[in-house]
Homo-oligomer: A and B are copies of this chain.
Amino acid sequence: MPVFTEFASASRELRVLPSFAPPLPRCSPIPKTSDVEKYEVVIAGAGPAGLMLNLLLARYGLSDESLLCVDAKSTTLKSGQADGIQPRTLETLKSLGLADEILTEGCQMWQVAFWNPSNDKKKIIERTSIIPDVSVPARYPHEVTIHQGRIERILETDLHRYSKRGVQRNTKLNDVKIDEEGDPEFPVLCEIETEGHKRTVRTKYLVGADGAHSVVRRSMGLKLEGESLDHIWGVVDLIVDTDFPDIRRRCAIHSPAGSVMVIPRERIATGDYLTRLYVQVPGDVNPDNDDPEVSTGTNTPPTDARSRRSQVTEKTIFDNAAAAFKPYYIRPKKGGAVDWWAAYQIGQRVTDNFSVKDSKGEDRVFIAGDACHTHSPKAGQGMNVSMMDSYNLAWKLAYSIHGLTPSAANGKPDPILQTYHTERHTIAEQLIAFDRDFSSMFSGKIGPSEDGVGGLTHEEFMEVFSRGNGFTSGCGIEYPENMTVNRDSDAVNPISGNDYLSGLLRPGRRLLNVRLVRHADGYRRDLQDGKINAIVEYTTNPNKKLDFASTGRFRILCLTSTDLLNPQGVSAKTLTALGRAIRRFPLSVIEQVVIHPRMEREFMWNDIPSEIKQYSEMAFYSGYELDDVYETYGVNPSEGALAIVRPDGYVGIVASLPDVERVEKFLESLVRTV
């Protein structure tokens, strides 16, 4: 029986049970309360884009007094359609501590099977190949399919840890205008309505995450540009009964009777597994311009497409699917097996601008998610691009509002806010370009067409599919040069190679995850990980080793050279200089991660520069025992390299190991000094 003489400090429980991500420090004053309802940020819409933004801003430190998110719906999504989570989104959710339920309970989609017309007439179709669903390096080499409502529930549950109010539901945004005269600090005037009761609120920044029919977009006069496609597709979620062998793989089926895409879905409450089918409805129609907001450049009457869509029924979809699957049978498993179906015809359109400035040039109104871009659902991009829009915007807004940027510190319009449009509009344009190619080819036929004129070859289709993988996985995107992405070609580039998809350090691309071993304790870990639920003690621990968890911090990534054990070497000098640099910025905003290559001998802490233990005790790794980190990142171990990784995990700048000045200048342009 334990017999103890025991003592516990009063603060013990608070200390050992941390549960929250650390907020960013705040250098700007908190606005005084007033009679008018005022916020620093108002978010319209609580779909994946709005919830993600709300959660991130709340984690970064915006309280319920500063932040309001409204949504017209009374609860998270019930009957929406998005279902695909891409590898890069998984990485992001993991770095937020939100991936586990999705990985465990969703359907992990590892492979794609291609089925094409067979030369053997009796077989009708045959499997041409099975390839990995994700062909680029990624921490999670697969997609996950899972209901959008579940993603929203996961985000909202976590939000409630940081926000007492959470989303203000049953509340819609009716109108927005910029009114600087009334209150220049809170120039955005919103009319919102809760169950018939209207009120006016003012905000510094408004974000319209209010979907394809965005009120914010319309109120601000932003235009959706693009075209419609001439194909009508049916989509159905159901429990199937089939002898088709690949029903649990993602499949692209090009049969003589039409095209079908199979998307295996998660297991549902009945114990059954869902399947989603995209089924081409044969026959072309003229491009659709039945939405008055859309500039399509054509003048065909809208009735054609609309009436054809309305003729599509559950039976039409099934009859077409059944024909394309032949000789295999496919049918709903039993009565009630069909969960949801729809007929759609979607063009690729992008809004011309993702933000609107006030008269001083400060970006005041932003749009994100479906409000910015519409495209076909087949590539499974919608929910991903929407959440990543918010992931890109959140840290920029938070840094500006908290007075952490140089401009915000000086009360000037903040150019960092412009980079949201610069970066995400580029991605949206790539998205619709890919989607246009992919959708067109998917609707085409494989093999010679009946009139003898050549159709699409399997090889052509595969080429689009594989080339698109960097984009569709989210892992290959590269932001264009801007103040947060510096690819200055005059400076020495320590990276060899140019196959950036493989993981080479490259400004504008995400930092690829690597596996490494920690010096302090031998912990074998993923670099992208880090503890989320700990509050940094600003006064004494400026650089407490969060690695690459999404806690809103900038990280210096120092890949030392092999001269680390030489006190007069480049590595040692660089680490000393970096220590000086870190102390120039607000406490806890700049963190440092150090990786070393294989050395000629074993060493202990007292053999290496003291700055490593001081700033990176728990973020100091060997980079060769598990993955070859130097090889992956394209760094010569005898030279080393420096990089700054932005709060969202994208590389901002790469510099040679001695060039601390370059990374310091880059940081100075983005973060105020103290």
Q: Taking beta carbons and an 8 Å cutoff, which residues of A are in contact with B?
A: 1-9, 11-18, 22, 78-79, 97, 100, 104-105, 107-111, 130, 142, 147, 149-150, 153, 212-213, 224, 243, 245, 247-249, 264, 266-274, 288, 290-291, 293-294, 306, 309-310, 312, 314, 334, 336, 338-347, 349, 374, 377, 520-525, 529, 531-537, 540-541, 544, 604-606, 617-618
Q: Which of B9, B97, B521, B531 is within 8 Å of A111, CB to CB?
A: B521
- In the complex, how many angstroms separate the beta carbon of A646 from the nearest chain B beta carbon? 21
| Given the contacts A150-B17, A248-B618, A345-B3, A271 and B340 also touching, CB distance less than 8 Å | no
User: Which of B12, B344, B374, B541 is within 8 Å of A339, CB to CB?
Assistant: B12
Point out the residue from B108, B274, B534 that lies within 8 Å of A523, measured CB to CB.
Answer: B108
Q: Which residues of B contact A274 (CB under 8 A)?
A: 16
Q: Give chain B nearest CB distance to A620 CB in angstroms.
A: 11
- Given A272-B541, A521-B249, A534-B267, answer yes or no on A2-B346 (Cβ-Cβ < 8 Å): yes
**8 cross-chain CB contacts under 8 A:** A1-B213, A4-B343, A5-B310, A7-B314, A12-B340, A97-B104, A109-B521, A272-B544
Number of copies: 2
**Chain A binding site: helix, strand, loop or mixed by DSSP?**
loop
Which chain B residues lie closer than 8 Å to A533 at the CB level?
105
Query: How far does the alpha carbon of A591 sit from the alpha carbon of B17 in the complex, in Å?
Result: 39
A521:B5 contact, CB within 8 angstroms: no
Q: Is the CB of A535 within 8 A of B16?
A: no
Nearest-neighbour CB distance to chain B for A672, whole angstroms, equals 22
Cβ-defined partner of A544 (8 Å) among B18, B249, B271, B531: B271
Expressed in whole angstroms, the Cα–Cα distance for A243 and B142 within the complex equals 44
Residues on B with C-beta less than 8 A from A339 are: 8-9, 12, 15-16
Q: Which residue of chain B has its CB nearest to the CB of A149?
A: B17
Q: Tell whether, in the assembled complex, residue B18 and residue A269 are in contact, meaning their CB atoms are under 8 Å apart.
A: yes
Q: Does B153 lie within 8 Å of A3, measured CB to CB?
A: no
Contacts of A109 in B (CB 8 A): 521
- A349 and B1 contacting across the interface, CB-CB below 8 Å: yes
CB-CB nearest in chain B for A543: B271
Residues of B within 8 A of A310 (CB): 5
How far apart sit A5 and B269, CA to CA, in the bound complex (Å)?
26
Q: A2-B374, A224-B1, A520-B248 are in contact. Are A271 and B541 (CB under 8 A)?
A: yes
Bound together, the chains give a CA A346 to CA B1 distance in angstroms of: 6
- Asked whether, in the complex, the Cβ of B4 is within 8 Å of the Cβ of A344, the reply is yes
Nearest-neighbor residue (CB-CB) of A530 within chain B: B104
Given contacts A1-B293, A248-B618, contact A16 B342 (CB under 8 A): no
- Chain B residues near A213: list those with CB within 8 A: 1
Is the CB–CB distance between A338 and B9 below 8 Å?
Answer: yes
A59 to chain B, nearest CB (A): 15
- Specify which of B150, B212, B341 is in contact with A2 (CB 8 Å cutoff): B212
